[in-house]
């Protein structure tokens, strides 16, 4: 007999594995094409580059870049997915849109921004803040644990290392924060 918790775990695992297979498959195609897919990232201030908002989170500049994002993306997405597909959709879409438009408007022109960091920072902010918006003790506790384990990443929202899209981190996190706030509307009273 499969329990409700078991079904939820399997669904979260399936969502996470699907995402990981997708970003790894895209990276393999990107590498085999001589990294031509990277041009489909976000190109700030370029009208055609705005389409990168939809593609950039699935494209990585190198295998090292992808490996750096894989483990943390898997953990955070799995935790989000334990709350159901609605949490995955709202946190992912808000992180992509707010993060992507933030990069497009505020990053340096003539640059290209790719990588799952927009989503990672969005999922992180969503998990850390959601419980405070919903008032649910379990979600608050999850947020505290996630903040304790991954809170050091939040320094990545500040300008620093060359070649790292701090704008993607910052605006992805803002998207996750907005998703956490939006989730409070679904709270039962």
In a structure prediction context, what are the per-residue pLDDT tens digits for the chain, which is 189 residues long? 678 888 999 999 999 999 999 999 999 999 999 999 999 999 999 999 999 999 999 999 999 999 999 999 999 999 999 999 999 999 999 999 999 999 999 999 999 999 999 999 999 999 999 999 999 999 999 999 998 888 777 766 667 766 677 888 899 999 999 999 998 875 443
Q: What is the pLDDT of residue 158?
A: 64
Beta-carbon count within 10 A of 142 CB: 19
Long-range pairs, 78-81, Cβ under 8 A, ≥24 = 78/12, 78/13, 78/15, 78/16, 79/12, 79/123, 79/127, 79/142, 79/146, 80/123, 80/126, 80/127, 81/11, 81/12, 81/13, 81/15, 81/16
Yes or no: say if 146 and 76 are a contact pair by the CB < 8 Å rule. yes
Integer Cα distance of 167 and 16 in angstroms: 25
Question: Range of 102's domain?
Answer: 4-186
Tokens describing residue 57: 């989170």
**CA 139, 9, 122 angle in degrees (round to 5)?**
50
The CATH number of whichever domain residue 69 belongs to comes to 1.20.1540.10
Tell me the β-bridge partners of 113.
42
pLDDT digits (tens, 9 = 90+) for 32-85: 999 999 999 999 999 999 999 999 999 999 999 999 999 999 999 999 999 999
Spell out the residues 6+ positions from residue 160 whose beta carbon is closer than 8 angstroms to its own. Answer: 166
For tokens 């970003």, name the residue. 23
Maximum alpha-carbon separation in the chain: 56
Q: What is the pLDDT of residue 93?
A: 97
Tokens describing residue 167: 């704008």
pLDDT > 70 fraction of the chain, expressed in percent and rounded: 93
pTM of the model: 0.91
Domain count, the chain: 1
Spell out the residues 6+ positions from residue 89 whose beta carbon is closer than 8 angstroms to its own. Answer: none
């Amino acid at each position: 007999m499969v329990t409700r918790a078991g079904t939820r775990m399997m669904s979260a695992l399936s969502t996470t594995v699907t995402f990981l297979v997708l970003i790894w498959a895209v990276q393999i195609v990107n590498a085999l094409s001589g990294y031509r897919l990277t041009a489909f990232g976000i190109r700030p201030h370029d009208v055609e580059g705005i389409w990168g908002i939809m593609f950039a989170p699935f494209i990585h500049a190198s295998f090292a870049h992808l490996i750096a994002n894989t483990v943390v993306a898997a953990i955070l997405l799995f935790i989000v997915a334990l709350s159901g597909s609605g949490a995955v959709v709202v946190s992912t879409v808000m992180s992509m849109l707010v993060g992507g438009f933030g990069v497009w408007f505020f990053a340096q022109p003539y640059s290209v921004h790719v990588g799952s960091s927009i989503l990672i920072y969005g999922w992180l902010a969503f998990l850390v803040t959601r419980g405070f918006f919903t008032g649910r003790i379990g979600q608050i506790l999850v947020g505290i644990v996630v903040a304790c384990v991954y809170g050091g990443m939040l320094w990545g929202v500040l300008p620093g290392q060359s070649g790292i899209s701090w704008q993607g981190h910052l605006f992805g996190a803002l998207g996750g924060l907005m998703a956490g706030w939006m989730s409070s509307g679904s709270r039962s009273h």
